[in-house]
Amino acid sequence: MLRYFAAGCTALMLGAGVVAAQDEPFGTQADADYAQQLWEAMKASNLAGENAIRTIPYEGTEPHGMLLETFFADAEIEGHIGALVIKRNYGPEGVTPEEVQADPDKHLAAVTIMYRREEGYDADNGNWFWVKYLPDGSLDKNPAGMQLAGRVAKGADAGCIACHAGAPGEDYLFTTD
């Protein structure tokens, strides 16, 4: 039986495989393929897609959105079970929780993910795999056209890793403190 919570644990299951090394920090085809496995697992558990579970959105800030929903789960991808943080990002500025609840698909701007991969994936940054999906589950891209999946903006002064490295508790999570 599968369980999911807005703040709790869930197991999402997908096949077995081996992690491939990569030269690029993010946006590779391997990153896109892995992100697709995450999206499919989330859809199967009603954490993404048309039948996604909804909660009452709370006030957010850029870059994530004016209103947010956050879910915590465990997911198994390619034989590895890791922590999964799902953040639904709603807008535009001025949208109310009632408007989002009445028509969440109209206001969903993006779904951002942190998934803790196996030891050694990116030890310098907590082994987190980062993804930014568009509402339909396709990958968003940065202005240079790179898909936002993998070690997003590793080594940059701004972006996923740079921002979350400043979270209290050294776990890259702002929601746990």
Distance from C-alpha of 68 to C-alpha of 10, rounded to nearest angstrom: 20
Which has the higher per-residue pLDDT, 169 or 38?
Answer: 38
* pLDDT score of 15 more than 60: no
Which has the higher per-residue pLDDT, 140 or 10?
Answer: 140
Residue with tokens 């999402």: 12
Which stretch of 9-13, 68-72, 88-92, 166-170 has the lowest confidence by average pLDDT? 9-13
**Residues 88, 109 contacting (CB under 8 angstroms):** no
Closest Cα to residue 115, out of 55, 173, 154, 46?
A: 173
Q: Cα(first)–Cα(last) distance of the chain, in Å?
A: 30
Q: What is the pLDDT of residue 19?
A: 37
Burial (CB count <10 Å: 0-12, 13-18, 19+), residue 14: middle
For residue 30 the two structure tokens come to: 């391997």
Whether pTM > 0.85 for this model: the answer is: no
Q: What is the DSSP letter of 127?
A: T
* pLDDT score of 54 more than 70: yes
How do residues 138-158 score in pLDDT, each as one tens digit?
A: 999 989 898 999 888 777 777
